Amino acid sequence: RLRWMNYLRPSVKRGQIAPDEEDLILRLHRLLGNRWSLIAGRIPGR
């Protein structure tokens, strides 16, 4: 199941991070600090 969720699911975006996604990551990092699992949960489709 984890392999499907992380690698095989067709809705997961792959490739370069878009500029708007990068801005979102930076804003979330300023807000949440180094809590990367929380940040990852707030990035849709990644």
pLDDT of 3: 72
Does the pTM surpass 0.75? The reply is no
Contact 11, 44 (CB under 8 A): no
- Domain span at residue 25 reads 2-41
Angle, CA 24 vertex, CA 16 and CA 33 arms, to 5°: 110
Query: How high does pLDDT run on average in the chain?
Result: 86
Domain assignment present for residue 7? The answer is: yes
Q: In Å, what is the CA distance from 38 to each residue of 7, 10, 33, 42?
A: 19, 22, 10, 7
Domain assignment present for residue 46? The answer is: no
Residue 25 pLDDT exceeds 90? yes
The residue ranking higher by pLDDT, 32 or 13, is 32
Q: What's the structural domain count of the chain?
A: 1
